[in-house]
Each structure stands twice: as structure tokens, then as C-alpha cells.
Structure 1
């Protein structure tokens, strides 16, 4: 961005950061421009409206978004992108956030500016892309959408397999050797920090959904489920996490250390989560006491 130019909204994934940079640039061009002046442009009574939004003290309402877009001087496509940025930040559910991301990723300007980051998000958000990357390590692998679509469990469409192959190639995770064979490569997946949590959440939700279906999809000798339900002190939770992480490392050592070639792809998922509130017993006891009065 040139010193005298305003920032381009397509280069952002955080609308508050964009507003901050826009105001700083506007102030640089016109030292007399103020938060109060912006409030007047948007019909807001509070002179600190913009400062409060930038600092996260308040959100933009649906009514305020188009007025802010006008004050920013955004064209139709830019305004639509800005609206999606607001939804990505303020949406209350994973589905709404993913819908907002899809709108952002559909923008040609965004794809041109952040192509690899967008592919990184796509990699984590679709369970079959990491699976295909592991599938590529098998001797029998064929980089053909028809073959891949039929091998994965559950099966995916040919178009999904084709798009997944392109994603892996874009990320450098699937590279064609001199002999024409496609081989996997170890590449760090980069996702925009603004949506990294969403991408990881998509990954775990996708895999856990597959685990649920696997109970009926595979016979017992092809899968393994083991679980415990226990009461624990909060002080033990970091130790439990450390033990599970160590188990993951040990399983990877076993996989990497085996001399035999792989012939299938599996998913191993280790997790734990609360089944009660921390103060659940106290709250229940308090409720019983109040009811007996």
C-alpha cells in the first residue's frame, strides 16, 4: 500500500484491522479527519463508534454494515467482501463462519492475494484431502480422481477427488517425480491466523463424524474403540493432555519405524472432553437446598 493510498479490503481477514488501517491512512491524508467525522458519516451518535468497533468493544449490527461500507467508499464487490469479513468475525456458529469463509474464498481478488493460505484452510476443512495425502504414500497409489474416489471410505465424488488433488499439488504436498510417479512431500500447512481455529475445528468435526459412522461401516476386527468415563480434579487435566500427546508421538514412531510398506490409510483420534460443569456438584447441591426451603 502506498503512503497516500487507502488499504484494499481484499487483503484482509479481520475487518477490525482493516478499519484501523483505513482510518490511519485516511488520517494521514487528511489530519483533520476524526472518529467523530466517521460517526457522522454513518449516522452514529457516539463519537467513539469507530474506536469501539476497532478495539472490539462493540460489534457492527446488520443495519450499520451498509452505512459503514458507504462511509468507507466501498464498491459493490468490496462491500460484499467487507460484509463477509464481519460475519466471519461475529458469527455465532461454525456453520455461519464457514459460510462467511466460503464467500471470502469465492472472491477472485482474495484468491489472487492469499492463494496458498486459502488452500491450507481447504486442506484442513475436508477430511479426504489429508487422507489422500497419506494415500499417496502407498505403493498402489494412482493420482487419478476415479481411482481415489472409489478407494476412500466413505467414497467421495470424482469432482471432490479432482479438487483435492489440485489442492495437494498447489500446497506442494504432492509432487511428480522424474519417472512420472506422484509422491507425497512433507510440507507445513499454513492457514490465515484469523481462521486457523476454524480450520482445525473443521478438521476434528469431520474426522469425529467419520468415527461415528465407522461403528456401523466396519466390522470390529477392522476398527478399535476404547473409552473411559471418569471423575478427575482439574489439576490433572494438563497431565492427561500430555499423556495423550505422548501417545500420539509413540504411534507415529511405530508407523514411521515399520519396515513394511503401507497398504491402507487409517485415522487415529485421541480426545477427552467434559461431561459436567466444573462446579456441577456444588450447583446441584445448591439447587436442592433452595428447593427445600
Structure 2
């Protein structure tokens, strides 16, 4: 029975794509890994085995050979080479730049399939902030109101895009009267895109925290730090307690809102805050 291989544009991990493509050819064409290597122009099949098993990485030159072996079209070859660069990138900023090139190189009908929706939401922190603003008692679905209320301000165009993105992702929907309300949806995508999006989100929140030192009076913010001499077990303990603290805050707010009702009658004046917690190494790790 003939199997249908997923479009190359649904992949962000080139190893996964090569593995699936070879598996299909092995099943339908009885192609061996030696045959594949010979067709691609490699001297030995062990290199491809090591690539699939994550023991070796492709280069741009070897990616071109793999594209030849798989019989890829020019635009598919370009996408494969970008996937290789994406997988080999060392920094978040480099990955971000290549990911945007990947999106630009594919047919528009394929963009959603690699998680661009997820990426768009997390690469711009204000989008999730707008989702939280919808629950404010005084919220107005007016891009000018949203743009001026956010700190720092965004443009009206960004406010409009945030709402449309959230509606498309089903993180917002409308009630019977057509008013915006928060909704819950599972954002699913490949691990690589998810990791990139969340890393970008954290980086930008840290930048916003830095800006708040100058733009927000000390009485309206809480920024503090500790420098600690700790062991691996103490590090693990702090991580567990930090995670428990985040859950405690969320449970507290959820319970309070349930007790008060959706309109917050007892505490009408509300604002959206970011809570960042950072624990990172200042020396090389001995464990």
C-alpha cells in the first residue's frame, strides 16, 4: 500500500524529514540506505545513519547531496537547506532569523502547518497581554484604547493584529452578544518551533523588565535579586519551590476570582502585570 509522505513544509527538523523520506522509499521502492547514499553522492551510508541518529550534522554541502538523493524540487531543496541551518544555529536570534526565512520560502497554504500561529503569539509578548486585558471590567474592543492602555504602548495596527491572531488561535472567541471573551485552546506545534517561540518570549519579557526600571516608579514594581552559592541538589530544590510558588499564585487568583464573580465587584481597578523569575548560572557548571 502506497504511503503519503507529509509535505516537507510541515517539518522543522531535517533529521525527522530525512528519516521519514527514506522510510517511505525503503517501503515503496525497496531502496536500501546504501542505495540512497550512492544516489546522493556519499561514499558511505554510515554518514546518513549517523545524521538520522543525531550523531552527525548535515552541512550546506551535504544537504544539497541529500536533496539530490531525494529528488527534491528547487524550492524544496531551499527549504531543506534552511532546515539544516535552523538545526545547526547556535543562538535564539539566529534561529529566529532562519525560521522567518523558512516561512518566507514556503507556499502560503503551508505556513500554518509548522506552527507559525504559535510562533506569532509568543514572539510578541503583547499579544498574550491583550488576551488578559479582555477580562478587565473596562475593556474596550477599540485598537486605539488597547494601544494607549498597554505599557509600553503599541500601534493600533499591532492591536488589531493581536485580536485577529488570538481569535484565529481560538484563545479568544465571542459571546452571544458578539463581545470578546477569553477561550482555551491547545497550541500545538513541533518541539523546535515551540522552543524557539518560548525562548523569544522570555527574552522579550526580560527586556521589558529592564525598561520598567526606568519607566515605572519603584513603588509600582518589585525587582530584586540574590547571588547564591549552591550545589546541584540545592538548585533542584529552588526550581521545585519556584514552580510551586507560580502554581500557588495562579491558584490564589483563580479562587479569588471565583469567589468574587467575573466582574470583580469588590476590586474594580485592575492592571495587567508580568511576573518574571530568573535563576541562571554566573560560573561554569561543575555538574
Structure 2 residue 261 is matched with structure 1 residue 264? no
In the TM superposition, residue 5 of structure 1 has moved relative to its aligned partner by 4.8
Distance (whole Å) between structure 1 residues aligned to residue 164 and residue 76 of structure 2: 28
Structure 2 residue 204 is matched with structure 1 residue 206? yes
Distance (whole Å) between structure 1 residues aligned to residue 272 and residue 221 of structure 2: 12
Distance (whole Å) between structure 2 residues aligned to residue 77 and residue 146 of structure 1: 41
Secondary structure of the structure 2 residue equivalent to 1:202: helix
Structure 2 residue 12 is matched with structure 1 residue 13? yes
Structure 2 matches for 1:1-293, cutoff 5 A?
3=2, 5-31=4-30, 33-106=31-104, 107=106, 108-111=108-111, 113-114=113-114, 117-256=115-254, 257=256, 259=260, 260-261=267-268, 263-279=270-286
In the TM superposition, residue 76 of structure 1 has moved relative to its aligned partner by 2.2
TM-score (norm 1): 0.86
Distance (whole Å) between structure 2 residues aligned to residue 99 and residue 57 of structure 1: 25
Query: Which consecutive residues of structure 1, in runs of 5 or more, have no partner in the other structure?
Result: 281-293
Secondary structure of the structure 2 residue equivalent to 1:175: strand
CA offsets, 1:166-204, max 9 Å, x none?
111012111111122111123333332232222221111
Secondary structure of the structure 2 residue equivalent to 1:183: strand
CA offsets, 1:221-272, max 9 Å, x none?
1111122212122211121112212221232234331542452111011221
Distance (whole Å) between structure 1 residues aligned to residue 269 and residue 245 of structure 2: 21
Comparing 126-135 with 257-266, greater Cα deviation is found at 257-266
Structure 1 counterpart of 2:264? none
Distance (whole Å) between structure 1 residues aligned to residue 27 and residue 247 of structure 2: 52
Comparing 261-270 with 185-194, greater Cα deviation is found at 185-194
How has the CA–CA distance of structure 1 residues 241 and 112 changed in structure 2, closer, same or farther, with 3 Å as cutoff?
closer
Runs of 4+ in 1 over 4 A off after TM superposition: 4-7
CA offsets, 1:37-56, max 9 Å, x none?
22223322223222221111
CA contact (8 A) 1:53 1:59 kept: yes
Query: Which consecutive residues of structure 2, in runs of 5 or more, have no partner in the other structure?
Result: 261-266
| Equivalent pairs, count | 276
CA contact (8 A) 1:149 1:155 kept: yes
Secondary structure of the structure 1 residue equivalent to 2:184: coil
CA offsets, 1:7-49, max 9 Å, x none?
4312222211111111111122222x22222222332222322
CA contact (8 A) 2:147 2:159 kept: yes
TM-score (norm 2): 0.87
